[in-house]
């Protein structure tokens, strides 16, 4: 694809916020393409269409990172933090750009179209709300621990999925990151 080839991994590390703009563009293109391809059930197609250009870009970033790690020298007193910080910054900026784009389009589209397009995300937010509603702050220490354990176990499951997808697909965790960006964007859009 042409869009992800506009940025080289070296350029992305020097200007990570350009990837935030690229993430915004990827989501915007996917939103319009989803409307034409499958307007009846667009929720997961939207995520897949965003993943199509993001996955090769992330793979190129990982390949570049691998070469840099092998040739890298010690920085900032900790080799682990220093060698991975640039790629983390690039991925965070891409994630922020996608979150911003999902939020923007959730607010900018007509309500009926936004609800249809982001129905899966709204359903997920409702299910999260029903599980945790009224249980986050309680006077009983036992119920706080139960909620903490529930959240912790859920996050461990998400971490296991990310690791499994990364091992199986290389950049398979991209789908989970895009899904989380869409959830956060819709969540912020609901309160804006």
pLDDT tens string 119-134: 999 988 888 777 666 6
Print burial letters for 120-137: b (CB count within 10 Å at least 16), e (below 16): bbbebbeeeeeeeeeeee
The domain ranges of the chain are 3-191
The number of angstroms, rounded, from the C-alpha of 159 to the middle of its chain's C-alpha atoms is 13
pLDDT, one tens digit per residue, over 63-88 is 877 776 666 655 555 666 667 778 88
Does residue 162 come out as left (phi exceeding 0), alpha (psi in the -120 to 50 range) or beta? alpha
pTM for the structure as a whole: 0.81
The whole-angstrom separation of Cα 189 and Cα 192 is: 5
């Amino acid at each position: 694809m042409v869009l992800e080839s506009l940025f080289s991994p070296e350029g992305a590390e020097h200007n990570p916020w350009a990837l935030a703009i690229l993430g915004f563009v990827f989501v915007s293109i996917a939103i319009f393409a989803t409307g034409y391809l499958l307007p009846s059930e667009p929720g997961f197609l939207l995520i897949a269409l965003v993943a199509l250009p993001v996955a090769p870009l992330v793979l190129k970033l990982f390949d570049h990172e691998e070469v840099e790690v092998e040739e890298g020298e010690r920085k900032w007193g900790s080799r682990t933090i220093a060698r991975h910080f640039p790629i983390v910054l690039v991925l965070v900026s891409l994630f922020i750009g996608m979150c911003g784009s999902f939020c923007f389009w959730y607010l900018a589209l007509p309500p009926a179209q936004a609800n249809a397009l982001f129905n899966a995300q709204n359903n997920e937010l409702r299910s999260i709300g029903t599980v945790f509603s009224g249980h986050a702050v309680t006077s009983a220490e036992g119920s706080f621990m139960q909620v903490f354990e529930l959240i912790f176990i859920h996050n461990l499951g998400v971490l296991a999925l990310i690791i499994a997808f990364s091992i199986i697909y290389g950049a398979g965790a991209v789908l989970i990151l895009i899904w989380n960006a869409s959830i956060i964007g819709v969540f912020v859009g609901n309160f804006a």
